[in-house]
Amino acid sequence: MKKVLGVFLQDLKSISKSKAAILIVIGLCILPSLYAWINIKASWNPYANTGNLPIAVANNDEGVAYNGQEINVGNQIVEELKKNRDIAWIFTDSWQGNYGLNEGKYYALIEIPNDFSRKIVTLTTENPIKPDIVYRVNEKLNAIASKITNAATLELADKVKRNFVAAVTKEVLKTLNPVGGTLQTDKAKILQLRDTVTQASNNIEDIKGFIAKANSNAESLQSYLNSVKNTLPKLNEQINSLQNVAEANKSLILATKQSINTIESNINNDLIQLQTINQQSQTLLSTLKSMSAASSTSDLVSIINQISAPLSSAANLIDADIKSLELLNQSYPNKAFTQLISLLDDLKRLITAEETKVNGLKTLLDNGASRESIASAIDQISALNNQVSDNLSRIFNNFYSVSTNVLNNLANNLTGSMDNSDAILEATRIIIPQLNALANYGIASSELSVKEANDLSNKLSALQNELNDLSVKMQNLNQENLDQIIDLMKMNPGMVSDFLSSPINVKEIDIYNMGIFGVGLTPFYTVLAIWVGGLLLSSLLSVEHTALEDAGNQKLTIMQAHYGKMLLFLAISIIQALIVTLGDKYILGVNPANMPLMMGFAILSAICFTTIIFTLVSIFGNVGKAMVVVIMVFQIAGSGGIYPIQTNPRIFGILQPLWPFTYAIGGFREAIAGPIWSSVIRYSIALLLFICVFLFLAILKKPFHKVTAYMEHKFRESGL
């Protein structure tokens, strides 16, 4: 060991005696840092400058007349974009836009077609046509820029959709608000309409009896027609009242149908989400079961937390669906609704039980329970999860085979009842003049009156049947239902339209608060700079100790000279690592969660990389330098430093554990974002293993020494 240190001290003395050597060493200490700092600073926050990216916008929308108003959604989009500073929007025509795109003046072109407004208003009809926005991108200019512009276009399309839905909904509710007030005022008349329909049916039955009796006696018919003639004005007044009330009731029933359709859609979406949560729970439980025997408590608790949170959300979804169904069942009692509510209650009970078991499992882990107890608890949770899965299957079968049909029939019956009532009332109004004419004519001619009376009797029978059908359909119309519909119509248009256009707010939380893009790249470029520093050392400094004796004139072995020379490389490499790491914090402004840990990984990485590089170059000479460069290239692509390794070809994922970059980058990430100590230990052990392996590989230097020296000599003789 003394001879090894002697070689190191001799190298230091040699450096100190030469100003040129000192300048070269100082340059070698600083140069790798510049490589890291320049790359990190260049990538510090690229998305903050997207406002400089030029995107052309060509608006060809011709607009459309809708409900007496001229609508041009294309102009509205342009006005919104003029307020947006996230992208450098350039407003031009289609020809100039396409020409500039092809010439590289713009990164992308957004064209709004001439029929954009015409198609978008069809969304309020029964046969909507989706409008198109034409998006063209010049990928040749920059691949990343095309992704940014594409995201901006998708955001534009989504904003147009939200604004249109909000505007339409707001206008509908503004129209319904006064109707709701009118319904509140006319509620008694609407309820009276239900009773009037039944009374009208009974009156028609009486009229038919009179007509039948009149057919046997013309004189009696004439007398009867005189009495009917006196009652016709009253019937006409009743029909006018029925038509006024029915018109007001039409908007009410349409709103009720929309509410029923909304409930059906919400339950359908919730069931799909519940199934997704259940499948995720099954996957996490399988992972938990496979890891329970060997994994750390923190890893198990992390998975348990991933299971617990969605279960609470699932219980809330079920509660909301049950409340909607109970409200609907109160207004329109049906066995299908009752059965579905019961199934959802059972599912909620199972999910609550599963959540309780999951929390209990976490308590067991916190209390240090045995692995057998943990495994048993996991089995119990899995059994409950299977029951949840079975219940979900039954609910899906019930909903799609029974409940959906009931909801659709209920909504369709409401609309059908209004159409029938309109037809009935209109038919009745047509009959009244005929009744009056018949009465006048019957007085003059009893024989002709009998024939007309027969025709009238048939028409009255048809009218009576229709009134009976209408009466049956209006049986569910009561004061409670009307109050609910009135409340729906009186809802705030602004709040409801805002909710319907964007029912979900996404709250993004960065669990490690790294924030700036450049901070995320700091581990990769710092580690790469340390490796580049070692590569520069091997290129500019000799890896061989030319003197065969130390300062005490004692003969040195090849291994003593090897390790002694390595100490100089290690010292300079550690200085390089410390400079680049301190510069990350104090020059670039990277604020690691654990600065001592970051410094420690910088030193450990420097030792590891220098050991690898020095060993390969020392054993194989110039071939070793080539090997170091090849290893660096593979590590840049296959260590997951910039892109997730899963996005690379599969071979890179297989080779990833073989590269020291993988563990060095992982260590820097733990230090910057906040350490998970189990990961820190694993990365440190991996780097130490690399050090040990390459220190041991130094024994190959002796058998390769002569071959390497011979190859180097021949290379110098070549004059290259």
Confidence at residue 143, expressed as pLDDT on a 0 to 100 scale: 56
Confidence at residue 34, expressed as pLDDT on a 0 to 100 scale: 85
- The 10s digit of each residue's pLDDT in 550-571 is 545 567 777 777 787 888 889 9
Q: Which residues have a Cβ under 8 Å from the Cβ of 612 and sit 6 or more positions away?
A: 534, 628, 631, 660, 690, 694
Residue 164 pLDDT class (50, 70, 90 cuts): very low
Residue 638 has pLDDT above 80, yes or no: no
Confidence at residue 538, expressed as pLDDT on a 0 to 100 scale: 82
Per DSSP bridges, beta strands 64-66 and 108-112 are unpaired
Residue 505, in any domain of the structure: no
Residue 491, in any domain of the structure: no
Q: Are residues 179 and 200 in the same domain?
A: no
Tokens, residue 541: 């400094």
Q: Which of 451, 475, 499 is at the close of a domain?
A: 475
Query: Taking the CA of residue 630 as centre, how many other CA atoms within 13 Å lie in the half-sphere pointing to its CB?
Result: 8
Give mean pLDDT, residues 417-436: 63
Residue 328, in any domain of the structure: yes
Q: Are residues 434 and 536 in the same domain?
A: no
Residue 508, in any domain of the structure: no
| Domain that residue 654 falls in | 2-43+514-717
**Any idea which of 530-534, 673-677, 681-685, 713-717 has the lowest mean pLDDT?**
713-717
- The 10s digit of each residue's pLDDT in 328-347 is 778 778 787 787 888 888 88
Q: Are residues 172 and 304 in the same domain?
A: no
Residue 123 has pLDDT above 90, yes or no: no
Q: Which of 183, 202, 227 is at the close of a domain?
A: 183
Residue 287 has pLDDT above 70, yes or no: yes
Confidence at residue 216, expressed as pLDDT on a 0 to 100 scale: 65
Q: Which residues have a Cβ under 8 Å from the Cβ of 656 and sit 6 or more positions away?
A: 638, 639, 640, 645, 662
Residue 154 has pLDDT above 70, yes or no: no
Phi first, then psi: what are they for 700, rounded to 5°? -75, -10
Q: Which of 475, 506, 523 is at the close of a domain?
A: 475
Q: Which residues have a Cβ under 8 Å from the Cβ of 684 and sit 6 or more positions away?
A: 601, 604, 663, 667
Q: How many residues does the chain have?
A: 720
Q: Cα–Cα distance between 478 and 331 in angstroms, integer?
A: 9
Q: Cα–Cα distance between 153 and 81 in angstroms, integer?
A: 11
Tokens, residue 144: 């990343």
Q: Edge-to-edge strand order for the sheet containing 88-92?
A: 88-92, 54-59, 108-112, 134-137
Q: Are residues 18 and 85 in the same domain?
A: no
Contact between residue 664 and residue 673 where contact means Cβ atoms under 8 Å apart: no
Residue 22 one-letter amino acid: I
Q: H helices within 541-676, ranges in order?
A: 558-586, 595-620, 622-638, 650-655, 660-673
Q: Are residues 451 and 525 in the same domain?
A: no
Q: Cα–Cα distance between 86 and 107 in angstroms, integer?
A: 14
Residue 318 has pLDDT above 80, yes or no: yes
Residue 481, in any domain of the structure: no
Among residues 398, 579, 477, 466, the alpha carbon closest in space to that of 189 is found at: 477
Q: Are residues 240 and 384 in the same domain?
A: yes
Q: Determine which helix (DSSP H) or strand (DSSP E) holds 568, and give its type and residue range.
A: helix 558-586
Tokens, residue 232: 């016709």
Give mean pLDDT, residues 639-652: 73
Among residues 457, 494, 486, the alpha carbon closest in space to that of 184 is found at: 486
Q: Are residues 661 and 568 in the same domain?
A: yes
Tokens, residue 201: 């049916």
Residue 312, in any domain of the structure: yes
Q: Are residues 196 and 171 in the same domain?
A: no
Residue 511 pLDDT class (50, 70, 90 cuts): very low
Residue 504, in any domain of the structure: no
Residue 18 one-letter amino acid: S
Residue 220 has pLDDT above 80, yes or no: no
Q: Is 89 helix (H, G, I), strand (E, B) or coil?
A: strand
**Any idea which of 82-96, 401-415, 437-451 has the lowest mean pLDDT?**
437-451
DSSP class of residue 137 equals E
Residue 176 pLDDT class (50, 70, 90 cuts): very low
Q: Are residues 161 and 84 in the same domain?
A: yes
Q: Are residues 147 and 108 in the same domain?
A: yes
Among residues 551, 535, 530, 536, the alpha carbon closest in space to that of 12 is found at: 551
Give CA separation, 148 vs 198, 451, 545, 587, in Å: 67, 82, 54, 29
Highest mean pLDDT: which of 155-169, 235-249, 291-305, 573-587?
573-587
Give mean pLDDT, residues 313-332: 80
Residue 619 has pLDDT above 80, yes or no: yes
Among residues 201, 232, 258, the alpha carbon closest in space to that of 474 is found at: 201
Residue 171 has pLDDT above 50, yes or no: no
User: Which CATH number covers residue 68?
Assistant: 3.40.190
Q: Are residues 454 and 541 in the same domain?
A: no
Q: Are residues 366 and 334 in the same domain?
A: yes
Among residues 408, 353, 361, the alpha carbon closest in space to that of 386 is found at: 353
Q: Identify the residue with better confidence: 179 or 686.
A: 686
CA 15 to centroid of chain Cα atoms: 60
Neighbouring CB atoms inside 10 A of 404's CB total 15
Residue 574 pLDDT class (50, 70, 90 cuts): very high
Residue 352 has pLDDT above 70, yes or no: yes
Please give the sequence-ordered ranges of beta strands (E in DSSP) within 8-117, or none if there are none.
54-59, 64-66, 69-71, 88-92, 108-112
Q: Cα–Cα distance between 30 and 575 in angstroms, integer?
A: 9
Contact between residue 612 and residue 660 where contact means Cβ atoms under 8 Å apart: yes
Residue 476 has pLDDT above 70, yes or no: no
Domain total for the chain?
A: 3
Contact between residue 556 and residue 3 where contact means Cβ atoms under 8 Å apart: yes
Dihedral of CA atoms 568, 569, 574, 579 in degrees, nearest 10, equals 100
Per DSSP bridges, beta strands 54-59 and 108-112 are parallel
Confidence at residue 510, expressed as pLDDT on a 0 to 100 scale: 45
Share of the chain above pLDDT 90, in %: 7
pTM (global) more than 0.75: no
Residue 509 has pLDDT above 80, yes or no: no
Q: Identify the residue with better confidence: 612 or 196.
A: 612
Confidence at residue 495, expressed as pLDDT on a 0 to 100 scale: 55
The residues with which 514 forms a beta bridge, in sequence order, are: none
Among residues 573, 692, 517, the alpha carbon closest in space to that of 28 is found at: 573
**Average pLDDT, whole number, for the chain?**
74
Confidence at residue 439, expressed as pLDDT on a 0 to 100 scale: 62
Confidence at residue 244, expressed as pLDDT on a 0 to 100 scale: 66
Confidence at residue 417, expressed as pLDDT on a 0 to 100 scale: 57
Residue 688 has pLDDT above 90, yes or no: yes
Residue 488, in any domain of the structure: no
Give CA separation, 493 vs 165, 177, 286, in Å: 12, 8, 48
Confidence at residue 217, expressed as pLDDT on a 0 to 100 scale: 63
Confidence at residue 508, expressed as pLDDT on a 0 to 100 scale: 45
